[in-house]
Structure 1
C-alpha cells in the first residue's frame, strides 16, 4: 500500500510539472503575440517615415529645440534656393521664446509641425503627462501661427506604441524619417551631403536640424539642394508628400 502511494505521488508530481510547463509555454506565446512593434505594417497605428510614390519628391524636415543662431542662415539658404515648403518641427517652449523666428518660418511658406512642448523623452512619461505636453504644444503653436499643427515628431524622435496611440487620439500623424543627415554630430559638410545623397529616393523624409547644435547644416544644404534638383527631385512639405499616397512603416 505504501508502495502504491509513493508511485502515485511521483505520477502526480510528473503531471504537475507538465501542467506548469504548459502554462509557462502559453505565457511566453501570449507575451510574444502582445509585443507589437511600433512600425509593424499590420498595426493600425504606425509612424510615417516614407511615402510610397514613384515620383521624385522629397520632404526636407528640420527639428528645432534651442538656440537662435542657426535657424536664420538655414532659412536664408532655403529662400535663396526657392524652397518654400520645408517642414519645421518646433519645440513649443522654444517657439514661445523666439516668436520672430516662428513668424519668419511661416512667412517664408514653410510647414510647422509639433516637436512637443518640453524637450524630454515621451516613453519615460506616463500617459497623462504625454497627453498634456502634446496639448500644451498644440495650443502654443496655434497661438503663434493661427494654424493648428497636425504633424508630431516627438522629442529626440523617441516613441513607442503607447505614444503613437496617444498622438493618434489627439488627431496627430506621427512623423519619423527615412534619411538621416546626421548633421547633429557635425561630421563635416561633405559627410552630411553624402549621408543624404547616397541614400535618398522618391518619397523620402529627410531629417535635418536647425538648433544651434548644428554647425555645418547651412553649409551643406546648398550642395544637397543643387544635387537633388540636378537629379530631377522636387521638394514638398510632409503633408503634401503623404497626402493621397500610401505611407511606409518599418519594424524596429
Structure 2
C-alpha cells in the first residue's frame, strides 16, 4: 500500500513539473510579443524617430547586397567606439556568416531586413511571417541572438506588415534621415545629406547601406560630424522605447 502511494505521489510530482515547464514555456513564448500598439488614427506605423531629451541618434546599415566594405566599416566604428544597427537579409546572412558573427561580436545590433528583400505588403500574411522567421532562424543559429528589430525592404509596409512583425516579436523600424548613399553621389553628398538634413535631431534614425559605393569612405566624416553637433550615436535598441509609449502621426515614438 505504501509502495503504491509513493508511486502515485511520484506521478503527481512528475505531472506537476511537466505542467510547470509547459507554463514557463508559454510565458516565454508570449513575452516575446511586442505588446504596445503603434496604431495612429486607425493606421499602423513603424518607428521613424524617437522623442527624447537626450541628444542621441541611431545610425543604421541595411545589409542586402555587397560585402566589400563591411570590415572597413567595422574598423571605423571600432575606432570611434560607436555601436550601430545592421538590418540583414537572409541571403546576406547565408552568404557572409563570418561577417554576421563579426558584427555581433563587435557589439552591434542585429536586425532583420527579411529573408528575400521582397515588397512585404504584396505578400500573404503567411509569406510575411516566413520572410521574418527564416532569417531569424539563421541569425539565431549563428549567434544565439533572438532579433527583435525589423526594417521592411524598400521601406514598404502596410498595417498587415507591422502587425505580422509584432506577432513575431519585432519592432518595425523606419528612418527619418536618409543618407541617399545608395544613389552613389559621392562622399560629400552623403555628409551634406545627413549633417545638413532638416529632419536631423535628437531621436533621429539614420539610414545607410553597408554595400553602397561611398558609404565606408564617408563614415569617418559622418561620425565626426554628428559628434561635433553634439550627438551620441547609439544602436536602435538603445534609442527606442520598448513599452510605455505611443506614436504621433509622423511615426515618432513618444514616452507615455
TM range, smaller chain: 0.7 to 0.9
Match of residue 191, structure 1, among 163, 178, 189? 189
- Which residue in the other structure is 1:146 paired with? 144
Number of residue-to-residue matches in the alignment = 210
- Alpha-carbon distance in structure 2 between the residues aligned to 1:145 and 1:43: 37
- Alpha-carbon distance in structure 1 between the residues aligned to 2:107 and 2:190: 25
Contact 1:51 1:248 in 2 (8 A): no
- Alpha-carbon distance in structure 2 between the residues aligned to 1:126 and 1:52: 33
**Gaps spanning 5+ residues in structure 1: where?**
1-38
- Which residue in the other structure is 2:116 paired with? 118
- Which residue in the other structure is 2:55 paired with? 56
- Alpha-carbon distance in structure 2 between the residues aligned to 1:148 and 1:171: 9
Contact 1:50 1:249 in 2 (8 A): no
- Which residue in the other structure is 1:79 paired with? 78
Contact 2:44 2:158 in 1 (8 A): no
- Alpha-carbon distance in structure 2 between the residues aligned to 1:179 and 1:246: 21
Helix, strand or coil: the match of 1:184? Answer: helix
TM-score (norm 2): 0.77
Q: Please say which structure displays the higher CA radius of gyration.
A: 1
| Per-residue deviation, 1:246 | 5.9
Contact 1:52 1:247 in 2 (8 A): no
| Per-residue deviation, 1:183 | 0.1
- Alpha-carbon distance in structure 2 between the residues aligned to 1:142 and 1:40: 29
Contact 2:40 2:247 in 1 (8 A): no
| Per-residue deviation, 1:42 | 3.1
Contact 2:148 2:169 in 1 (8 A): yes
TM-score (norm 1): 0.78
- Alpha-carbon distance in structure 1 between the residues aligned to 2:131 and 2:217: 34
Taking structure 1 as reference, are residues 226 and 246 closer, same or farther at Cα in structure 2, changes over 3 Å only?
Answer: farther
Helix, strand or coil: the match of 2:206? Answer: strand
- Alpha-carbon distance in structure 2 between the residues aligned to 1:155 and 1:57: 25
- Which residue in the other structure is 1:206 paired with? 206
Superposed CA offset, 1:99-138 (max 9, x none): 1101110111101000111121111211111111111111
| Per-residue deviation, 1:67 | 2.1
| Per-residue deviation, 1:45 | 3.5
| Per-residue deviation, 1:77 | 1.3
Q: CA RMSD in A?
A: 1.8
Helix, strand or coil: the match of 2:40? Answer: coil
| Per-residue deviation, 1:40 | 6.5
Contact 2:43 2:159 in 1 (8 A): no
**Gaps spanning 5+ residues in structure 2: where?**
1-37, 252-256
- Alpha-carbon distance in structure 1 between the residues aligned to 2:143 and 2:43: 31
- Which residue in the other structure is 1:179 paired with? 177
Taking structure 1 as reference, are residues 51 and 246 closer, same or farther at Cα in structure 2, changes over 3 Å only?
Answer: farther
Contact 2:49 2:175 in 1 (8 A): yes
